[in-house]
Structures are given as structure tokens and as C-alpha cells.
Structure 1
Amino acid sequence: MRTARAVDGVLFDKDGTLFDFSATWDVWADGLLRDLSQGDAARLYALAAAAGYDLENRRFHRHSRVIAGTNREAAECLAPVLEGWTLEEIEARLMVSSAKAPLRPAVPLPPLLDALAALDLRLGVMTNDTEYGARAHLRSAGVEHRFHFIAGFDSGYGAKPAPGPLLAFARSQTLDPSRVVMVGDSRHDLIAGRAAGMACIGVLTGPARAEDLADLADAVLPDIGHLPDWIAGVTG
């Protein structure tokens, strides 16, 4: 039987939270856009503009729709430039390509997750990426088996900022949502957490700045490595 505590579960976003956003996705996007452009400079710049990507500095603009959007939403951004491609073909290309992205964990993940598991916490991941991509990334990082729940926008629970997928995690682990912490790097993550009645932690390993997250977060941390200390503080 679980002992009484303020936190019984932690649900993580993936990109910008478990994995450093810029070191992973800015690098991936540059290669993807150049590949899709097939050497056509005009198409390359049109694709970058559609994705909200700065080619000169090789990074996403902070307010790019792609950053917190679903795989489908990213495909919809690129579709007007990719004449002759169906939306489904673009989605499939993004899914397969992103599963091979050059991952950079925000912190060493195995020791952090083991420390949280030692506190008898249930651990989950909910991302607006595909479940295929999420599992591929977590497997590559050697931590897939450390999570009790893994979902993408296509797993049947919906996508953030709706609370449905967060509540699905709580139901699957028989947890009171008020005793779950949602950890993410975007307003989408924290809006979903608030709507689900969860505590919300923002982290600064994505494009958002502290002031972008502060009004929705119980705390804004430099990265997820600070999470055990925060949990210790709220549980006494």
C-alpha cells in the first residue's frame, strides 16, 4: 500500500525536458530541411519559413508551431511547400526521420530515473511526438523500461495542451491527479498539467524562458536534475 505523500507520480514531456531541445532538434531540423529541399535553395528557405526555423543560426524560432505541436501539425506546416506530397507522406517522413534524431539527454537519465523510482514514484512520458518516436528515443537512451507509461499524440488519449493524456497516465497507475507532477519545457505542457489538476514544473532545457513559464508553474527549474530536491522539499 502506498504511503501518504504529496507526490506519487511524475509525468515528463520528452523534447526539451528529457532531452535538450536545441542540441537535439535544432540539429535534426537543419538536416531534415536540407534533405527535403533536394538542393533547391528557394525551397529550403520556404521550408524553413514554414517551420519557423532560422537557417543562419540553425535553430527554431521561439514561437515556432513545430516546437510544441504534434507530428501532424508539423506536417501541416510543411505541406504547402512540399507540392506533390500527401500529408500522410510528410507525417511518415517526419516520424521515421525524427526517430533517428541525434539525442542529447538534458541530464544523465538512468541515475535520475532510478533515484525517482527509489522513492516509489510512478513514472511516465507524454509527448506530442508519435509514440513510435518516443519509444525509439527512450530505447536509444537506454531508459524505455524505466517508465510505467509512454504515450504520444497518436496513442488514443489526445494531445497537449488538452488534459486527456495526462489523466490517462493517472488512471493507468491508479493515481490521484493532484498527487502527480507534470514536468515540461513549454506552455502546452503546463496548461495541460493545470487543466488535469496536477502540480506543474517548468524546465529551461527547451526554447522557453523562465518568464514564459512562471505564471503556470509551481516552480521553474534549470533542468530535470533538480527534480529530486524539489520533491524532497514538498514532501518534507
Structure 2
Amino acid sequence: MTVFDEMRWHWPSDFADLHQRFRSATPFPHIVLDNIFPPQVVSSLYDEIPQASDEAWIRWGGGKPETCNVKFKKRGLSDVARMPEPIRRMFATLTCDRFVTELSALTGTGDLVIDPSFSGGGVHCSGQGAALRVHADPIRHPDPGAYDQAINLILYINPNWEEHFGGELELWSRDCQQCETSIAPLFNRLIVFQTDRTTFHGHPRPNLCPPDQYRASLAVYYYVKRDKIVDIVNNRPIWR
């Protein structure tokens, strides 16, 4: 039996309370929850992350020129077939019917839909000196005319991350004039936030971690089905 065979998660309070916390957060609805997943499960994922040289990675970068070593620049792995089995099983948990239904109750978003291709999501990893420019997301679903991106989920899996390593996720005002919330990417920390074309976020301050540590997370985007098909123009990140 592995740690995944009896996978459980634990919400810290009832959904009415969690929903109130989510809706009342600023600068846009979000919630930060620590240790809702068993730490032994989450800690096992970090060691499964492929080496920086692995061809499975997509080299995304941080949205602007960077001076850090290429192996530390932001990279992603969205192809489930190329993920190590423990990481694949964690994504299965984050997209299972029960979890998605409970996430819908927490956010009050209605019927959330997953994207099995994890377009733009999956495993995210960056190292010393890397950063991510503040931006608002495009709609990452393969069929953006039919599905609108509604909720972003990030689970940090870096067990040795310390606050002085930086890498805080910043949530900016909807006019992108100032940072209003800063969230340290600490181990087993779950962040759920509403996403649209004015929910600006990023980690613009370069990571200060040692070269043997990585800011590592699992990212899942959840969608709502549109009432009718629409034409999407300029479906790109809005960088600031």
C-alpha cells in the first residue's frame, strides 16, 4: 500500500465559512489553506520532479528577459503521460469528482469543469533568480470559446522552502497599480483564486533560494461552460 491508496484531504471548516473567506478576500476572491493534504503525500512529490534537463519540460520563462541560469528559469510539465506516477495520481485527486464538487461549493462558482490536458498547468518549477512577471491569465482551455477559465489552484510541494527564499505570489489590484496581497510559497500551502482578465498576479521578485532548492507547485485551472459559443480575440496573457 502506498500513501496514495487512502488519499484524504481535510477542509479546516465548513463550506459556508470557507466561501465567506474566499468571497471577502481582496483584491479579488481567494483563499489560502495550509496542510489540507497529508504532508507525507505532498512531500513525496518533490523528489519525483524530473531533472531540469529532462525533455518533458516546456521552457516557459517568466514573461521577460532573465539573467538567471537557464536551468533555474520557470518550466512546466503539462503532459500527464510524461509525469511520474505519484504526481499523476495527485493530479487525479485534484480533478476527481468529489474534490471538484467541493471546490465549487467553496468558491460558489457553480459547475466547474476540468481540462484533462492541463493546458498551461501541471507541474511548475523555478529556481534561484527566477521570477514571473505580473499578469492576468489567458483562457487556457483548448476550446476557450466554449469554456471560460474561472478558478486557479496552486499547491506548493517544496518541503524545504523558507520564507527568506522569497518567491511570494503577489495578488495585485484590478487596475494593476499596486500589490495588495503577498503569499509565501510554503510547503503544502494551497491557494485558490478567482481568475479573469483583471485578476493580476505573479511573483515578480526573483527567488532567493539556494541553487539546490526549487519553487515547485502543482497548478490546476478549472472552467465553466459558456451558455453559448463566443469568438475569443487576443487570448494572450496581459503582462504588466
Report the TM-score, using the length of structure 1 for normalisation.
Answer: 0.29
Q: Which structure carries more strand by proportion?
A: 2
Report the TM-score, using the length of structure 2 for normalisation.
Answer: 0.29
Q: Which structure carries more helix by proportion?
A: 1
Greater Cα radius of gyration, structure 1 or 2: 1
